[in-house]
Structure 1
Amino acid sequence: GFAQVLTDPDATLQAGWTYTLTVEVGNSLDYPWHGYKVQLLAGGTPHTPGSGGDYTGPVTGGTLLAEDNNSLTIAVDTFETSTVTYTYNPEHASLLGEPLQIRLLTLGNVLAGDEYTEADFDNVKLDAAEPAPIARNPDPEDGATDVCRKVVLSWTPGMYADKHDVYFGTDFNDVNDANNLDPIGPGEIYRAHQDADSYPVPETLDFGQTYYWRIDEVNAPPDEDTIFKGDTWQFTVEPIAYPIAGDKITPSASGSYAADQGPENTINGSGLDANDMHSTVHTTDMWLSRDEEPGQAWIEYEFDKVYKLHEMWVWNHNSTSEEDLGFGFKDVTIEYSENGTDYTTLGGTTHEFAQAPSKAGYEHNTEVPFGVPAKYVRLTANSNWGTYGKYGLSEVRFYYIPVLARDESPKSGTTIDGVDVVLSWRPGREAAEHYVYFSTSFEDVNTGTIDPDIIDAGGECETSYGPLSLDLGKTYYWKG
């Protein structure tokens, strides 16, 4: 391979800078191809100069910053561009001011019989970009969704920042146009003038609301009048409830008018457009019962597990003749169960489902609140909107409250680099405490036959357990 420690006084590692190394890598026909490495390092001892411009000593030392380890597929007798990017990391603070080093390596193992190996390198270029004066790397990231209601805003400060002006609100223009002459405080758009590069939003945010925020970077005295206005970022808070996906639901019914008008049509999204509007084009996008007496036609939904149901949306039967035939459910008994045996009538009474309009572009027009745990929901039609003995629905959607732990870390199947591990997860919304099961036995964790550790729910956004001292090479199982 080839290595060179750069001797230009400006070619040193600097705080906050970003370095981009590009190299054309070729696959020669002359020798077998075993791959390549392109590396950027800091530090090292340069070549030892010899007589006549030659070098008598190799480059030694250096700390690897970033590399491309044979990531490209390079056809014979062609070149591809390898790009290695490194942005200063504070863990390399001891290397600040050290010269940068480039290494270009041909992979191969002479001891394993690779007597000859070759990769060609050309057009080596190293670019260095001075850090931006504005705030960057927002967290939550710009455009993030499903953000926790108790959020901490954080960012990477601009290079020259001494203070940070924080702007936050629900209107893009209000946040984008605000400045440091506006009123300041927790209830204002201009929230804070502070030292920290994070800001815990004091209020609990609204479900489903989109928020906007901006960080302006303020120089240190005597240049504190220099302010670098930041970009306006946005994120959306988690919804109050989440839809249960159709592949998590098994529908059944008292019967179907035709094989292609079965109950599965009510949970598979057929007939809905991108805006959740239902069509009238195909009755095969809907469910229609066979001829039944009032109170005999039913459809049931079995979920993959028990959910805390929030509400149900209904698109009633919506054929082009619905206005005349009235097949849609009208007076409906809604029953729910956790075990499929013991059923309870929702609200102790019946519910009326609104009739569909017999028109395309049909938005759901019935919403039924639940607020109960259930694995099964059965809808029984006591009447329809017409005089014929058939009953039908177009689409039914269930929403649930996330009361179980989610967004776990480390993810299932993860290989951990290290033995000290902290488990973390997003708590169920109504959790007061957590039972944490942890073992090398899948069966013990899965069945809960071991004693759990009980911990308080902690924060609304994240709860953690650990650190845990683990044994190398072992597989562990956990749930919380």
Structure 2
Amino acid sequence: MRGELTYLVSFLLVSSLALTSAAQGQPAPAEAGVDPSLVGWWTFDEDAGDVARDKSGNGNDAVLLDGPTWGTDPDHRGIMVLDGTDDHILIDGTYYELPLYTMAIWFRVDGGSGDRDVLSAKGPTGVNGVLLEINPDGTLRNLHRFPFASGGGSDIVSTETYDDGVWHHAATVQTESEMILYVDGQEAGRLPETNLFQGPLGEIWLGTLDQRMGRMFPGPIDDFRIYNRPLTAEEIVKIMEGEPNPLAYGPEPKNRSRLEATWANLKWGAGDLAVSHDVYFGTDFDAIGEGAEGTFVGNVTMNSQVVGFPGFPAPEGLQLGTTYYWRIDEVNPAEPGSPWKGEVWSFTVPPKEAYEPDPADGAKFLGTDLTLNWTPGIGAKLHTVYFGNNPGDVTGAMGGTSQTPATYDPGALEPGTTYYWRVDEFDGAQTHTGNLWSFTTAGAGGGLKGEYFNNASITGEPVLTRLDPVIDFAWGTQSPEPGVVNDDDFSVRWRGELEIAFAEAYRFYAATEDGVKLWINDQLAIDRWDVYRLNEYRSDPIELQAGQKVTVEMWGRDNAAAGESASATAQLMWESAHQVKAIIPAVAFSPPVRAGSPRPGNGAVDTRQTLELNWIAGDSAAQHDVYFGTDEDAVAGADAGTADIYQGRQADTGFSPPKLDWGTTYYWRVDEINDVNPDSPWKGPLWSFTTATFLVVDDFEFYTDDDAAGEAIWQAWIDGFGVPANGSQVGDLLPPYTEQAIVHGGRQSMLFSYDNKAGATNSEAVLTLASPRDWTEQGVNELSLWFRGYPASVGSFTEGPVGTYTMTASGADIAGTSDQFRFAYKTLNGTGTIVARVDSIENTHAEARAGVMIRETLDAGSKHAFVCLMPENGVSSRGRTDTNTGSFNTTQGGITAPHWVKLERDVAGNFTASHSTNGATWEAVELSVPTNISMVSNVYVGLALTSHNTTVTCEARFSNVTITGAAGAQWLSQDIGIASNAAEPLYVAVSNSTGAAAAVVHDDTAAATMDTWTEWIIPLQTFADQGINLADVDKIAIGLGTRGDATAPGGSGTVYFDDVRLYRPTAP
């Protein structure tokens, strides 16, 4: 003991000599000065917690799931260790739109077998977009797949193995024309790849394929980075070698740890550039983070600081039951970035009293078979437990049980009962009275209102309405209610109210098979409606209050769309600091009695100035009291006697306020009324929206799929249905009618198909205006609309000289569940054979494909058989045995053009693939066998070409083409699965209720082929110059084709329109 004391005194003397005075300053944040293209950066240096902070400055923190372990490494500082069993990490990829990218990560494989995924970045439909995966043989696979859900994609597989227990650095790079894999700073492979991601990613998983926890990775990872540009080889080496890290690291005591002592010697690892250290210490997290007055200890040259000892911070000693915070800013006056602000670390000195009760104090909705646990107070030797349903008895220390284990079995509990308990701790000399804790067991009842629809879009009337106790369903391929709800292609809307147990931030998790939306208190918390695989989605933290009842609305669906797995699932879970992640229990729910589902949505911006407010009534409501105004507090506190705010009592679930001011926030509330119900009225939540500073002609947000109610987009925009001279079609043929993926603003746009052939001279849709009709209001002088089309087709098929055919094509591939290629074909009835010599094929990709095909339909997902030649990878037999399913293939290498290919269909429906060097001696493609593909008798036979590179046109030449069987005489050709537009003139026309319309044609005659969102601004004076009365506009029309001075060549395609607005002059 004397030796220890001597050491401590000596150490304190040295430490006091090292303590020097330093001017306080507010250093720049750690993220300052990072490459702006570094959009995500996780260094795993936090040392504790359930999130890894995003050091890029964008705040997209990673969530640690199922217990990854914080660790350290001599060369990597902080690391994250994954156990290969269930540890994994989730990052919200919707932050990132990455047509071009670099993703880089350090990893070390510590055992395991099979496929082990280091990185899996998902697409919007839940299918792999980017993958870094250790193969069973130890090689590294880099996948880039787009379009999502189509299968295929490009794979780079390394020749070296990396499952050797050694650290390796991997970087996958996507340029405009190719993907490149680097390992340990050296190029490990590259492939042509121009199928760039369009739109945001989905989830990004580290250590697993996805939330199903397949292909788990065993070992540590570090320094994961996402750039929104391709880095050069030199830059890859630079980030691998690592720039000097100026930050302090490795705190002792460990961050967020417990310290059972009244003094401490704080230690840390010095930043790479530090020559001294500014120390901050105190009990206020925010004050330490801000470097507030009284928190600065001083500048030290040693990597340590004593606290809790006379002459040092906390001289009276560290106080029991207190959390301390500290921060180290690294200093080097010779460096321009100095000082470098460090993380705020913490440790807690436990109290003498028992703490951390489990269940947490105030917990609700618990089962009746519980074991009580707690963390013993410091030095506790004996625990006396008081338990009962009377708080006075527990407080009065009646009937206590003394014991040594820190756990207590209360026996059988009654449902729906609040219990109280207390633990007094005895440390051998003194008893420390514990706090009074409570919890409540779950009672009977509860649940949400479930409305089931026989469509995948929550439209029309529900076919089934019932009370669902919880949202925890695994229907698989079965119906939720056989004979009533479809087995497939259905949707569900759950609505209810949720009681909150704890005053803290909650996260909600929704797991569904085919898409989900979740609103909490009428705020959209999760929006992943267009997915086709089982995924679990997580909300951001939502601050809620104990005892509060919040509204909950969740949509789920089982979509019959191609690519979905036909296994319907739905779950809703919650989690907070005191609530373990779990299915929300029935007793926490109650049916919806308050008004909900406001339109416009709560917090909406840029709304129209003339609009109707709508809501869904509470279950017991007979009437509705409406409150509306611009004063938030006044609307929140109003009653039926509040003049100007109270709008009256009504039976309808819609309210139309008078025309609203520009750029103003309005608040509204709906109280539900039922005079015969003693619980009435039910006061509604406060909602808000903000009007636009422009006039909204149409933003396409208010259309639904409820055509029975007249709310479908094609019921407002009148297209060419039934009019032979008008080739337009507004919206999809089946719900959802609006476009919900390709949008400019908001959540919907208008899909507009045009076909100016077969007698149609133009394609036009017309909207009759209710408002705005006055196009002079507030001095507006410009019409703005946004549009986006598809590029023109590059496909062609020509003959010359006779018997020689030249084809051109783009296309992603002929593979997966759908194809993209050029097809030159004839009809074929019954059996038949096609033979061709592939004279040449341009190398737009190692797996560009040119060959012969027999196909059931001209749809992208059709059944087919295909024999093709590739520039580098030989000859292949491929096909699809069922519509919209995956493809089969076998490949034989070492064969290049010119080469012969043959495909035969026999009477039993078997397809045989052969190839030949001379057209006389044939052999089967290696490993291929005759494959039975059940097709209708009348099919298509011909030549097919795909570039496997959507931005480059591939050319192939064929000769000696022969077809046997009942084939048609005429060659036809078209793109399959490739969206393309003909260059038709784009125009807008407006009209008054009488007189001729005035049209303005876009300056670019090929506007329909622009494949990015483009704004078109039209001065309103151009309409006025043609005689239009701008103060009373009756109709607006959008079209493509012949109109005014424009003449159309007669083509077809699809264009999307969004955000049609009227603007005032821009200020100079």
Q: Give the TM bin, normalised by the shorter chain.
A: 0.3 to 0.5
Q: Which has the larger radius of gyration?
A: 2
Question: What's the TM-score once normalised by structure 1's chain length?
Answer: 0.32
Relative contact order (C-alpha < 8 Å, sep 6+): which is higher? Answer: 1
Question: What's the TM-score once normalised by structure 2's chain length?
Answer: 0.16
